[in-house]
Amino acid sequence: MAGSGKFFVGGNWKCNGTKESIAKLVSELNSAKLESDVDVVVSPPFVYLDQVIGSISNGIEVSGQNSWIGKGGAFTGEISAEQLSDIGCKWVIHGHSERRHILGEANDFIGKKSAYALEKGLGVIACVGEKLEEREAGKTFDVVFEQLKAFAEAISGWDNVVIAYEPVWAIGTGKVATPQQAQEVHAAIRKWLTDNASTEVASKTRIIYGGSVNGANSSELAKQADIDGFLVGGASLKGAEFATIINSVTAKKVTV
């Protein structure tokens, strides 16, 4: 059973781009023919947020790639949820594997950041996912459920949360989880929500897949019952390909 919200596609631009390349990408997205019943969100680096918010159209919303755990102040290099909101961001990404595993952010820290951002009116794209050795040791569900639990313990509700399942072994590696592997974890996450939140939360919350999603594999993935969209890395830097991924919602409609 899929989440009952609209299909959701996020583009995480990570630490990429220049004023010029981003102007070109925005113009490609503005002129792309996009299916109307998809929530589309792009996440540029902080320094380009204002440029993108001021120039993007086509119903596309903008997300920060991270935010601080609380109110702003003497936290050099950090950005607060209030600041993101102030310039017109609607979303923020928390718990991305690069922040967990390269920057060492802990589950409870990520949960608290999300709680604060939700409190300040931002939607949260909450990322979970296991590393290759964890998958090979049969610990996928343990790891993912522990990450979900940290969000659940901190936030007061799931209304403005989109869960992104991103197997770490598939991010930027060109290895994609098979549609069946992704569906299996998405279904388990939905069952976890039923058991730990409510049936209503489980049916309403969108669970999206991330990990080497591209124009060639998005339709097959979209057909899976519990995949409600995508969080796209590299392919979101190419306007035409990102549009193809957004429009893979049509594959979903055919199967439902």
Catalytic residues: 96, 166
d(CA 232, CA 213): 6
Torsion of CA 237, 125, 227, 220, to 10 degrees: 10
d(CA 213, CA 185): 16
Q: Which two tokens stand for residue 149?
A: 């639990």
Q: Are 61 and 53 in contact (CB under 8 A)?
A: no
How far CA 194 is from CA of 73, 104, 207, in Å, comes to: 38, 30, 13
Helices (H), the chain: 19-31, 49-55, 81-87, 97-101, 107-119, 132-136, 140-154, 179-196, 199-204, 218-222, 239-246, 249-255
Cβ neighbours of residue 230 under 8 Å, at least 6 residues apart?
8, 9, 10, 208, 209, 210, 213, 218, 221, 222, 245, 248
Which amino acid appears at position 26 of this protein? Answer: V
d(CA 92, CA 43): 8
Burial 224-243 (b: 16+ CB within 10 A, else e): bebbbbbbbbbbbbbbebbb
